Homo-oligomer: A and B are copies of this chain.
Amino acid sequence: MTHRADRLKTIQPFYVMDVLGRAKAMEAEGKSVIHLEIGEPDFPTPAVVVQAGIHALEQGHTHYTAALGLAALRERIAQQYAKSYRPSASQIVITPGASGALQLVFAALLNAGDKVLMTDPGYPCNRNFVTLYGGAPVAIPVQADTAYQLTADSIKRHWDSDVRAVLLASPSNPTGTVIADDELGRIVETVAGLGGVLIVDEIYHGLIYGGDAGSVLKHSNNVFVVNSFSKYYGMTGWRLGWLVTPSAYLPDIEKLAQNMFIASSTIAQHAALTVFEPEVIQELEQRRDTFRQRRDYLLPALRELGFEIPIKPQGAFYLYADCQAFSKDSFAFVIQLLEQTGVAITPGRDFGVYQSETHVRFSYANTLEHLREAVQRIRHFLQK
């Protein structure tokens, strides 16, 4: 190979892909695999939204939209934020998934060596997006004592003159934990005081069980918010998300969106116009309740098996579990578990390096029936 960018040395592949590959090979041999490694809701897109997609196609909506997206969709997204802290529709930028939104933000902010604070464990793409645009991700080890989240204090402690931004995710992947509203307020104030930029990933925001966590926009209109139609709205394969942008950054973000994406999928945008309709929201709330029931089954079941999950996660569809009672090599544990029981989970090393060899992630984006079967198989495996 002639040329290879240095960034590739620090961007890791997803280890879960290895798990998935082995799982598929097992399935090809006729073995039963229960997929608890997947970061995607098991539900299809709500029927009303699918119908809207079909209607958009029938109407011939197959040309480009404006780079920032359909005006009606930007307006509709703005409207769904609480009135007291509603952003203007002009601040809403439609993107090809939350991935596109994160690309825009880091491309707009980062020069070579600029640091971005984030959690370890955290969503693996986050540190890679920072690397992609020349920045230096600073993964701060977090534990159960702060609900696996950064705090105003930890941000202050890790600040130096190279830090440009702080990235939070609430609820978090892989831990499902939420930043308490008062702490979020303190973080907003702290980052602003330090002259940094705050970016909050709210893609699992619709999936919070009990309580009503508000958006970070409640505390400031001068933050970046990344969101998506993928998780709560069940539109993963459509590839559509959005970014709420501080007004000062709009010209830069628009310029980048024009160049990087031209526009987001027109069909997906037309379909997404319907997700805020009462009947769709009602269906989504039922799904949320189903996710809550699954969490309420799986959390005590895993604890009873001997996995340590010190705090009850309030959102997303993940349980981040300490498996050191069984293994101090969580990747080997995951492979063994898969090969001996057909239960696929995600190794901790996909989410960072801090205590990752003693942690695994369970996704409960699967039916209660399958979760029960998985628990039974794991019990049998651990008793051997």
- Shortest Cβ gap from A292 to chain B (Å): 22
Binds B, one of A62-70, A139-147, A334-342, A354-362: A62-70
| B63:A236 contact, CB within 8 angstroms | yes
User: For chain A, which range describes its interface: under 10, 10 to 19, 20 to 34, or 35 or more residues?
Assistant: 35 or more
Are B58 and A44 closer than 8 Å at their CB atoms? no
Contact of A13 among B107, B125, B254, B266 (CB under 8 A): B254
Q: Given A3-B165, A112-B134, A128-B259, are A237 and B65 neighbors across the interface (CB < 8 Å)? A: yes
Taking the complex as formed, is A221 at the interface, i.e. its CB lies under 8 A from any CB of chain B?
A: no
The answer, yes or no, to whether A8 is at the interface (CB within 8 Å) is: yes
| Contact in complex: B239, A96 (CB < 8 Å) | yes
For residue A7, CB closer than 8 A to chain B, the reply is: yes
Shortest A176–chain B CB gap in Å is 20
A62:B40 contact, CB within 8 angstroms = no
A260 touching B3 in the complex, CB below 8 Å, given contacts A65-B237, A238-B266, A266-B237: no
Report the separation of the CA atoms of residues A376 and B40 in the bound assembly, to the nearest whole angstrom: 56
Q: Which of B107, B164, B237, B258 is within 8 Å of A3, CB to CB?
A: B164
Q: Does A261 contact B (CB under 8 A)?
A: yes
Smallest beta-carbon distance A88→chain B, Å: 17
What CA separation (Å) do A44 and B256 show in the bound complex? 27
Chain B CB count within 10 A is highest, among A7, A97, A133, A262, for A262
Contact of A61 among B8, B62, B237 (CB under 8 A): B237
- A129 is an interface residue with CB less than 8 A from chain B: yes
Q: How far is the CA of A294 from the CA of B253 in the complex (A)?
A: 36
Whole-angstrom CA separation of A248 from B1 in the bound complex: 6
Which chain B residues lie closer than 8 Å to A1 at the CB level?
Answer: 248-249
- Residue from the list B8, B63, B196 in contact with A255, Cβ < 8 A: B8
Rounded to whole angstroms, the CA-CA distance of A107 and B8 in the bound complex is 9
> Does B3 lie within 8 Å of A62, measured CB to CB?
no
Whether the Cβ atoms of A14 and B252 lie closer than 8 Å is no
Q: Which one of A8, A111, A264 has the highest number of Cβ atoms from chain B below 10 Å of its Cβ?
A: A8
Chain B hits for A96, CB < 8 A: 96, 239, 261
Q: Does A103 belong to the interface (CB within 8 Å)? A: yes
Q: Contact at A237–B2, with CB atoms within 8 Å?
A: no
Q: Are B5 and A111 in contact (CB under 8 A)?
A: yes
Instruction: Check: A17 CB closer than 8 A to any chain B CB.
Output: yes
Say yes or no for A132: interface residue by CB 8 A criterion.
yes
Nearest Cβ distance between residue A74 and chain B, in whole angstroms?
16
Sampled A-B contacts (16; CB under 8 Å) = A2-B196, A3-B114, A3-B196, A7-B107, A8-B108, A13-B254, A44-B63, A62-B237, A63-B237, A64-B237, A96-B261, A97-B261, A103-B260, A112-B134, A128-B259, A237-B263
Q: Which residues of A contact B (CB under 8 A)?
A: 1-8, 11-14, 17, 40, 44-45, 50, 53-54, 57-58, 60-65, 96-97, 99, 103, 107-112, 114, 124-125, 128-129, 132-134, 164-165, 195-197, 234-239, 248-249, 251-252, 254-256, 258-268
5 extra A-B contacts, CB within 8 A, seeds A11-B259, A62-B236, A239-B264: A5-B110, A8-B255, A97-B261, A107-B132, A237-B266
